[in-house]
Amino acid sequence: MKEKSFLQQQAYDTIKSSILSGEMEPNRLYSETKLSAQIGISRTPVREALQCLSQDGYITVIPSKGFMIRQLNDKDMKDSIEIRCAIEGFCTNMVASQIDTEKGRQLLHSLEQTLSDMEESLENGVQLEHFIDSDHQFHLLLVGYMENDEFNQIFQRLLYLIRLTSQDALAVEGRIQGTMEEHRNYLHALRNGDGSRAYQLMMEHLLMPLKMHEK
């Protein structure tokens, strides 16, 4: 994939930020031309940025009309969770088998620090966006441990769907506390080098949103 130009990257970051902040609304058709004028960047880099945002799962392009912010549906949720299970399950087994190495201990320390960040975001009332960001960082650390470029690229492309899934699941009463407990139990299994237990816990954690939708 070719490197983004400065203006394309600027357009990408600006539009992505507007999507994540909620400034750009779902169920609304956006015009490339109007957006270009609004953010003050010419149409070519904006068009290229929109192509990248489409590839990364943030928007749905509607030919000759414009684009819409991507919304979560049951199939997207299921597909993204199954991909995560495959990648994070593999990473879990590898980490557990290497937990006594220097690299494994460093990862464990980083995961524990991220868990502390999640707990901190709950101390003075729930700061949901901070909690979600820390939760994503926890999983990114696990995937990044393998230093597998394909894993990292796939996970990055899933991040928006992961965020939508998290927002949906964490809106259910008690789910935030449940998420914390699942992370704690997972870390305990990793510390003990119990790959089978850690794998089981990770699968249950990732599949929980699907189970909640089945109820």
Residues 41 and 103 in one domain: no
CATH code (residue 183)? 1.20.120.530
pLDDT in tens, 103-138: 999 999 999 999 999 988 887 676 788 899 999 999
Averaged pLDDT, 81-89: 97
**Number of Cβ atoms within 10 Å of the Cβ of 164:** 19
**Beta bridge mates, 176:** none
Could you say which of 45, 69, 93 is where a domain stops?
A: 69
Could you say which of 50, 69, 88 is where a domain stops?
A: 69
Residues 56 and 141 in one domain: no
Residues 39 and 82 in one domain: no
Q: Is the dihedral angle over the CA atoms 18, 129, 126, 200 positive or is it negative?
A: positive
User: Measured between alpha carbons, how far is 16 from 159 in angstroms, rounded to an integer?
Assistant: 12
User: Measured between alpha carbons, how far is 191 from 120 in angstroms, rounded to an integer?
Assistant: 22
Residues 201 and 100 in one domain: yes
Residues 132 and 81 in one domain: yes
User: Measured between alpha carbons, how far is 56 from 155 in angstroms, rounded to an integer?
Assistant: 10
Task: Tell me what pLDDT residue 122 has.
Answer: 82
Q: Can you give the residue range of the structural domain that contains 140?
A: 74-214
Averaged pLDDT, 76-96: 96
pLDDT in tens, 4-47: 789 999 999 999 999 988 899 888 999 999 999 999 999 999 99
